[in-house]
Amino acid sequence: MRTIGFSTGALARGDFRKALQMMAGKNLSAVELSALRQDELRALVEQIETLDLTAFKYVSFHAPSSMEREFERQALQLLEQVAEIGWPIIVHPDAMYEPKEWARLGDRLWLENMDKRKPIGQTADHLTRFFEVLPEASLCFDIGHARQVDPTMSEASAILSRFADRIQQLHVSEVNSQSRHDRLSFESVLAFQRVSHLLPNNVPVILESRVEEAEIEEEINRACEALTPENQLALTGD
């Protein structure tokens, strides 16, 4: 059984307590605490100690997806507190104004591949440039973003092959044409299965699909189906 759970931002945007309530009793083993907007960061960091996360064997933390330049230093100070707990911190490459400064987070910094709306960070080549500056960083592979950038999944395959050793977490959801995270459609399940043989088995999966509480389990099942390799042998000569 995979370590799998939801992002609090997907379930209840900035209301992380509500999201944790929605996840309670659903046998989820992972959670990602999200502060996707910069004004949510301080409140979440300051309340970490008050949260009951004992049900989860894996916790990660999502840094703001974008921020003002003036806020970057402050954000880093707050995120250092998260790094001290030992949780991985998921960061969008384009949210960093001074990537070198983010090396302060050491191996707790996990970069995420981006959707097509973002100016950088979508391809294996883009990501290589970031890892050159931040060699200790890992990768949170967002399969929905990769599919939106290239529905044939060639780019996903390139990222998965090139960064096999760096991938530490998966983000799973359907990313629609407006770059919003949606529930998994049959189309995205088919696409994800195309590269499922390249996905590491042992890394935690965080769903970013926007679902109602009643839909959580069904979405988890669909994600597991999407991430399971087909075990089909190559067709050979006729």
Partner 1 sequence: MPETTSATSVTRGLLDVDPFRRYRDDSARTRTELDELLSKEIPAYASDDTSLVAFGSLARGEWTAGSDLDWTYLIDGQANSDHLRISQEIRKAFLKTKLQEPGQTGIFGNMAFSHDIVHQIGGQNDTNRNTTQRILLLLESQPIGTRTEAHERVLRAVINRYLEEDTHPLTQNSKAYRVPRFLLNDIVRFWRTMAVDFASKQRDRAGEGWGLRNAKLRMSRKLIFASGLLVCFNANLDRALQSEISTGKNDVKLKLASHIRNQLKSTPLEIVARSMEDYGVSAAVAKGLFSSYADFLNLLNDKSSRESLKNLRSEDSGTDAVFQKVRQFGSSFEQALSHIFFENPSVAPLTRKYGVF
- Applying CB under 8 A, which residues contact partner 1? 116-117, 122, 149-155, 157-158, 177, 193-198, 229-230, 232-238
Q: What tokens were used for 152? A: 């044939």
Q: How far is the CB of 162 from partner 1 (least distance, A)?
A: 11
Q: How far is the CB of 163 from partner 1 (least distance, A)?
A: 15
Geometric angle at alpha carbon 207, from 126 and 105, rounded to 5°: 50
Q: What is the spatial distance between Cα 13 and Cα 8, in angstroms, rounded to a whole number?
A: 7
Q: How far is the CB of 118 from partner 1 (least distance, A)?
A: 9
Q: Residue 57 or 197: which CB sits closer to partner 1?
A: 197
Q: What is the spatial distance between Cα 226 and Cα 205, in angstroms, rounded to a whole number?
A: 12
Q: What is the spatial distance between Cα 219 and Cα 238, in angstroms, rounded to a whole number?
A: 39
Q: Residue 108 or 118: which CB sits closer to partner 1?
A: 118
CB 9 within 8 A of CB 211: no
Q: How far is the CB of 148 from partner 1 (least distance, A)?
A: 10
| Cβ within 8 Å of residue 195, ≥6 positions away | 143, 153, 156, 157, 160
Q: Residue 114 or 137: which CB sits closer to partner 1?
A: 114
Strand segments, DSSP code E, in 26-103 are 30-34, 58-62, 89-91
Q: What tokens were used for 174? A: 């359907």
- Surface-to-core class of residue 133, CB atoms within 10 Å of its CB (0-12 exposed, 13-18 middle, 19+ buried): middle
Q: Residue 122 or 209: which CB sits closer to partner 1?
A: 122
Helix pair 154-162, 124-133: axis angle to 10 deg: 30
Q: What is the spatial distance between Cα 223 and Cα 6, in angstroms, rounded to a whole number?
A: 11
